[in-house]
């Protein structure tokens, strides 16, 4: 009885298979049902396994093909169809040696089987091509490894210190070259001109060439940014960065007759990212070096993290940033110098993240850093946490205000975004107020018209002048939704702007002792 049922499933599967690819799933199901019967007819079971393997081969289930063919070959080791389908599945899995072996076994069982001959030829050709590609790739990788090893030995022989910046990517895709015949290295080199924010890139600077030789070629003619031709080898001073064992950054002068190898081999020079760098300034610019050391370059701690020193000791710097973070949370925006604002940005984001967490450990961490706990912490873990609940990051915004009169220091405003007094929103409200004056409609009509315009339902409630500011039409609905404002709140914000409400003033942190 079980044999008849299994035979019936096989026949139904064959009918579905003959009808085309769209019925292969049904055929697979019938063959599986027949196999599950587990009848005593080995020949029938062998056929069911081979037929199900054909379906799985079509679906790309190559491991299942191998499993079904293994069951069939266990019942009949000379089943040519099972060997043939195993070969196709193995080839698809790039197991070419095993696939060739299956084809050879199939031909041993049936020497005149043309499909097996064609498959063997196809697999052999594909295997040879893949093998040739693999060998070429391995040889190429071996050459690269040998070249890299020789270069490392050459740098070690010359006592050149090297370092790599994580995730460093250069637009100049050049590497250090080793001339084995001459036993010389050629290094990609930048000459930087900070006075003009310009640079020159030398693809291969020979270690035996002097600095003055390269400068002579570079400054042979006046550069477009140097129309007076002030930059000449005899009128400029060249520096390279130094770095001691403690990670402290400095500068060292380089004479015109000094060879590149002398600089690279210096005990305090570090060849970073495989590129040498020289800083070139006019000789009369004696103030530049001091300013560079004091303001431009970050101080490098022993653990390798870079940050601005801000002309302060570590304790003074930390105390100042704590004060600024506290003031920012209290006032929503503060005015300070641009470098301080940039350093404060990361700290403020960390504090807001603690506020959003809201657990006991977060409160302990915030209390340990911020000052004036009775007023600061409730705001951080209350209104601010609620304001940024749906925002995943980027809680602050920096507005550059230009340079300060007197010392010419860059000044900026750093603010917590999405607040009622957000400076970006104020610009939007001013645009809305101007639009109200230019059109016959009220603010309510303008807002309604903007909403209808965004929904592509023009009703002509105001003139087209209301939409001359595309930024207004795009951003106003977002601001109202973020702050949960209705028309009355929006009109109140515009009224505050018109009378210069004190809530929109910026706390000036530059006037306090930091």
- CATH number of 247's domain: 2.40.240.130
* pLDDT for the residue numbered 297: 46
- Clarify whether residues 334 and 290 are in a common domain: no
* pLDDT for the residue numbered 371: 82
- Single residue among 416, 437, 454 that ends a domain in this structure: 416
* pLDDT for the residue numbered 458: 45
In order, the DSSP letters of 249-286 are EEEEEE-TT-BHHHHHTSTT--EETT-EEEEEEETT-T
- Single residue among 267, 282, 302 that ends a domain in this structure: 302
Residue 307: inside a domain: no
Three-class SS state of 333: strand
Residue 401: inside a domain: yes
Q: Provide the number of structural domains found in the chain.
A: 4
Span 334-360, average pLDDT: 91
The b-or-e profile of 448-476 (16+ CB within 10 A means b, else e) is bbbeebeeeeeeebbeeebbebeebbebb
In order, the DSSP letters of 279-296 are EEEETT-THHHHHIIIII
Enclosing H/E stretch for 370: none
Q: Is pLDDT at 387 greater than 60 in this prediction?
A: yes
C-alpha distances in angstroms, 47 versus 35, 52, 67, 80, 385?
10, 9, 14, 12, 68
pLDDT tens-digit profile of 470-495? 666 666 676 666 666 666 766 666 66
- Clarify whether residues 409 and 430 are in a common domain: no
Average pLDDT over all residues of the chain: 82
- Single residue among 374, 396, 416 that ends a domain in this structure: 416
Span 65-92, average pLDDT: 93
- Clarify whether residues 441 and 386 are in a common domain: no
Span 383-409, average pLDDT: 86
- Clarify whether residues 274 and 325 are in a common domain: no
- Clarify whether residues 457 and 365 are in a common domain: no
Residue 266: inside a domain: yes
Question: Distance (Å, rounded) from C-alpha 495 to C-alpha 487?
Answer: 12
Phi, psi dihedral angles at 277 (to 5 degrees): -135, 130
Residue 163: inside a domain: no
Range name among 54-58, 133-137, 388-392, 413-417 with the lowest pLDDT average: 388-392
Residue 168's pLDDT band (cuts 50, 70, 90):
low
Q: Are 37 and 9 in contact (CB under 8 A)?
A: yes
- Clarify whether residues 214 and 101 are in a common domain: no
- Clarify whether residues 277 and 371 are in a common domain: no
Span 32-55, average pLDDT: 91
Q: Is pLDDT at 452 greater than 50 in this prediction?
A: yes
- Clarify whether residues 12 and 101 are in a common domain: yes
Beta-bridge partner residues of 198: 193
Measured in residues, the chain has a length of 514
* pLDDT for the residue numbered 303: 41
Span 392-411, average pLDDT: 86
* pLDDT for the residue numbered 480: 67
Question: Distance (Å, rounded) from C-alpha 259 to C-alpha 264?
Answer: 9
Domain that holds residue 73: 2-126
Span 197-213, average pLDDT: 91
* pLDDT for the residue numbered 3: 86
Token pair 């760098």: residue:
277
Residue 125's pLDDT band (cuts 50, 70, 90):
very high
Residue 493: inside a domain: yes
- Secondary structure string (H, E, C) spanning 50-78: HHHHHHHHHHCCHHHHHHHHHHHHHHCCC
- CATH number of 48's domain: 1.25.40.10
- Secondary structure string (H, E, C) spanning 102-136: HHHHHHHHCCCCHHHHHHHHHHHHHHHHHHHHHHH
């Amino acid at each position: 009885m079980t044999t008849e049922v299994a035979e019936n499933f096989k026949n139904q599967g064959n009918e579905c298979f003959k009808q085309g690819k769209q019925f292969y799933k049904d055929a697979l199901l019938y063959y599986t049902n027949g196999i599950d019967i587990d009848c005593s007819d080995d020949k029938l079971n062998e056929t069911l396994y081979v037929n199900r393997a054909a379906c799985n081969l079509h679906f790309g289930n190559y491991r299942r093909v191998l499993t079904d063919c293994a069951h069939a070959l266990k019942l009949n080791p000379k089943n040519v169809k099972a060997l043939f389908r195993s070969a196709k599945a193995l080839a698809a899995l790039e197991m070419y040696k095993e696939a060739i072996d299956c084809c050879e076994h199939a031909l041993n069982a049936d020497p005149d089987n043309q499909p097996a001959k064609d498959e063997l030829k196809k697999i052999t050709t594909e295997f040879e091509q893949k093998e040739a590609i693999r060998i070429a790739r391995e040889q190429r990788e071996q050459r690269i490894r040998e070249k890299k090893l020789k270069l490392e030995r050459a740098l070690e022989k010359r006592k050149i210190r090297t370092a790599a910046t994580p995730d460093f990517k250069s637009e100049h895709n050049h590497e250090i070259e080793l001339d084995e015949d001459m036993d010389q290295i050629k290094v990609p080199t930048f000459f930087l001109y900070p006075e003009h924010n310009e640079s020159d890139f030398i693809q291969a600077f020979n270690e035996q060439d002097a600095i003055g030789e390269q400068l002579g070629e570079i400054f042979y003619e006046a550069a477009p940014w140097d129309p007076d031709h002030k930059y000449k080898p005899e009128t400029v001073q060249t520096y390279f960065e130094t770095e001691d064992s403690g990670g402290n950054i400095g500068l060292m002068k380089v004479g015109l007759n000094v060879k590149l190898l002398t600089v690279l081999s210096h005990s305090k020079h570090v060849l970073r990212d495989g590129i040498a760098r020289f800083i070139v300034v006019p000789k009369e610019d004696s103030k530049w070096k001091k300013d560079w050391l004091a303001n431009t370059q970050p101080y490098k701690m022993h653990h390798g993290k870079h940050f601005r020193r801000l002309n302060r000791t570590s304790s003074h710097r930390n105390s100042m940033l704590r004060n600024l973070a506290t003031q920012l949370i209290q006032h929503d925006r503060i005015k300070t110098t641009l470098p301080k604002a940039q350093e404060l940005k990361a700290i403020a984001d960390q504090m807001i993240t603690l506020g959003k967490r809201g657990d006991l450990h977060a409160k302990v961490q915030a209390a340990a850093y911020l000052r004036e706990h009775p007023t600061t912490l409730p705001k951080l873990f209350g209104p601010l946490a609620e304001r940024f609940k749906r925002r995943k990051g980027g809680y602050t915004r920096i507005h550059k205000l230009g340079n300060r009169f007197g010392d010419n220091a860059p000044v900026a405003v750093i603010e917590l975004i999405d607040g009622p007094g957000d400076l970006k929103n104020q610009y939007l409200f001013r645009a809305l107020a101007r639009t109200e004056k230019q059109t016959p409609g009220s603010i309510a009509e303008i807002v309604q018209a903007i909403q209808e315009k965004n929904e592509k339902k023009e009703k002509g409630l105001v003139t087209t002048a209301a939409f001359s500011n595309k930024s207004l039409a795009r951003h106003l609905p977002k601001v109202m939704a973020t702050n949960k404002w209705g028309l009355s709140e929006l009109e109140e914000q515009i009224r505050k702007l018109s009378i210069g409400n004190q809530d929109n003033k910026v706390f000036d942190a530059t006037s306090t002792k930091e």
